[in-house]
Structure 1
Amino acid sequence: MDLDTIIQEYERTEITALWIHDRIQNRHYNILSIVEACPIEQQYSLPIESLDKNGEKVPFVGISLDQERTLYLRREFKETAEEGLAYFRGPRMMENVAIVSFDHLILDPPAEVPVLTKETKYPSTALEHILPRRSVAFRVCALFEEKQATLHQLTEQDFAKVAFLTKQYLGYDLSIYKEFIGAVLLALPNPYLRLVNILGAPEHTAIIAAFYERMGKSMIGGEIEICDIHIYGQGFHLRKRITNQRMLISLPYMPTRFKVRLFDAKSQLVYENEIAFMQAFHLNMQMANTVRKFKRLTGKESYKDFRRKLRKPKLESKGV
């Protein structure tokens, strides 16, 4: 499915751009741009604002790098998702500012085929740290600089100010993820689901899969795939049709780690995650304090003046 078709599933766009204005060349160089297509019910992100020298509110923040360059961060809210796709493909405009690149950009993955991430609410990879925090997975297309020319233009002092702005307004330190310097990301959150919840039901040797659907969307008719993960290979593999928003799915046995994948009615992969169940233990500990007894004796029994009695703690554990 091509991006022009996928983008129709979204209502609007949020574009967050970090760039450097070089006043000598009068050009605006992209440091990082993130284009997020938003479903209809998704709440708006917070605007990025500051006060100018006259005390008036402006829709961006800026910090001077030196006498010739200023670093800017801005977030724009577009009324259609197509505007976000147009920004990704270029030319890139923030209000009346043309954002350009130091280097030639290459598409990754090629042919505008988006790659699927895991949920970004609890990020584990560099890409998941960069993307907005959401309870669902993203499909992502990216443009990276071929020779990382922008990265080589920045000094250590520049990176310190990049870190300051991104930590304060975006929630992460971009200077840690230097591979994304100069990149443009198109982030497409799950168009069907706003949350997936997988719970264990060991008394039934099953899992409970709950699908929280977006407004006007449905996963009914799609499929859920469950694969047991073993250190030395794969265990069982199940694939069942989704017939309800909440399903009890029986398993051959209760795994400790397994992979869940969701496919829509068109067999497009829209969700993938690894889930671990911890085995529960009941621990019963009885602790006794050390007991010291003092007894005063006379004569030959004086070596018994001090007697210590120690009762060892009893430890009982039972696994379930």
Structure 2
Amino acid sequence: MINRRTFIGASSALLAAASFSSLLNGQTRYSGRLISGIAAGATGDRLAKESLGILSDQFNVDYRLNVIETRETRDASVAVKTARADGSTLLQTHSGPMVLFPATYRKLDYDPLDDFTPLALMGDYSFALSLGSAVPESITSLDSYLSWVDDNPDFRDVGFSLYGSQAHLASMILSRSKEVALRPQPYKSVRSLVNDMNSGTIAAGVTITGNIGLLADSRVRPIAVTGRQRIEAWPHVATFFEQGVQDMDIGGWFGWFAPARMPESTVRELGDRIASMQATAAYADLQRQLMLTQVALPPAQIRERMSSEMSDYRKLVKTYGISQMG
């Protein structure tokens, strides 16, 4: 039954959606927020900033970036979940909080499928195991690195960003598959991890591939990448599969989401604007620089992909014994 409060709330939402629609179709530049929990300097941060620049310059939509770095992007997700579903507040997230965190956290303050409307995937990415200055440059393969660790057990730590992330899972799979006592170590940001790898404080780390190329003055070098195929930008770097680790079909993606229950007309309009942005030469060049692969999926298929990945990650988390967090 529809009561007066429900009717007024629904009417307000429809008016907001209509107003937003007219702004998109007119000449007025709309000001909104793109909320992200990704730290400054990382691949996702640059993706957000430069994507917003293309939208602003070419498609008459002006969102400002609002970064909330607390609680591993969970607070950013909650901020968008509770925002008005009128298109003025969007979320950029990586895939971890949407498909892996449901398996690595006992409870989340948001439901990835029920609390958000997918708008677009902004690019798929792989992860790389990279070595720092502590490891001799003659070490160029996975087996030679693991042999070096056997001889240098003080350097058995492998860094990664965020406990319970895909990079964490990849380090656990590597240790179990190769039966080497590696010790995964979480970092708050990829920049601090790479700084420690450059200084020789830690020997190795697992990061998103694009992060390595973004950090100036880095001496970090990749020796293995996740996924079934080598990365076009690094044809000389073999996959984990090629080097004997079979459970490394792990990748990630960046996506843009809106709060749930956003009117379908607004979803379509925003999706069209984002798709037009992604078709530009500037966006294609950005993806090359960030080592991202574009995958165009409509909202329903994004949900299907999320559900499938959630199931796969639950199995991997259980198999490799990552403890759930509160």
With the length of structure 2 as denominator, give the TM-score of the two structures.
0.22
Larger RCO: 1 or 2 (CA < 8 Å, sep 6+): 2
Higher strand share: 1
Q: Of the two, which has the highest radius of gyration? A: 1
Relative to its length, the structure with more helix (as a share) is 2
Give the alignment's TM-score, normalised by structure 1.
0.22
